């Protein structure tokens, strides 16, 4: 998997980032941090989600850019379904991180996003973040 993360094929890097997160091995963090800077949005997105699943907040800026519908649209040409899936996945990752600095963005999405599924995922992220013990690390 680590070798695939170095592939010239962006599809291979994207899948490798996803798998590295699912393997739940903290040794993947340094490589995932490199993939956070990949030129291909899907690779960056999977790396950020993988980092969150490992409890590492390094991908927060990428996750926030996915949840911001305007920023997402500037990164890649996606169908409505693809955008919503990307946003829901990023919101799930933010739920894992419980990042209080993301609350204003999450609240905006929960109030204003046109998609009910996205709004519900934002509400769940807000609830998880607010219920995290004060002073607990994200």
From residue 54, how far is each of 11, 24, 34, 110 by CA, in Å? 22, 6, 15, 25
Model pLDDT for residues 52-110, shown as the tens digit of each residue: 999 999 999 999 999 999 999 999 999 999 999 999 999 999 999 999 999 999 999 99
How far does the chain reach from its first CA to its final CA, in angstroms? 27
Model confidence pLDDT, tens digit, residues 114-125: 999 999 999 999
DSSP secondary structure, the chain, as one string? -TTGGG-S-HHHHHHHHHHHHHTT-GGGHHHHHHHTT-SSHHHHHHHHHHHHHTT-GGGHHHHHHHHSHHHHHHH----HHHHHHHHHHHHHHHHHHT-GGGHHHHHHHHHH-S-HHHHHHHHHHHHHHHHSPTT---
**Model-wide pTM > 0.85:** yes
Per-residue pLDDT at 138: 45
pLDDT of residue 134: 61
Kindly report, residue by residue over 13-53, the tens digit of the pLDDT: 999 999 999 998 999 999 999 999 999 999 999 999 999 99
Question: What pLDDT does 132 receive?
Answer: 79
């Amino acid at each position: 998997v680590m070798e695939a993360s170095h592939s010239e094929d962006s599809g291979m890097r994207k899948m490798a980032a996803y798998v590295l997160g699912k393997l739940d091995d903290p040794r993947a963090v340094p490589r995932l941090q490199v993939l956070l800077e990949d030129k291909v949005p899907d690779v960056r997105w999977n790396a950020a989600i993988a980092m969150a699943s490992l409890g590492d907040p390094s991908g927060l800026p990428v996750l926030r850019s996915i949840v911001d519908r305007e920023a997402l649209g500037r990164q890649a040409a996606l169908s409505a379904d693809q955008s919503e899936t990307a946003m829901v996945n990023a919101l799930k990752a933010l739920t894992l991180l419980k990042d209080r600095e993301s609350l204003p963005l999450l609240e905006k999405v929960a109030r204003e996003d046109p998609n009910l599924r996205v709004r519900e995922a934002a509400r769940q992220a807000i609830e998880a973040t607010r219920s995290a013990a004060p002073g607990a690390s994200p």
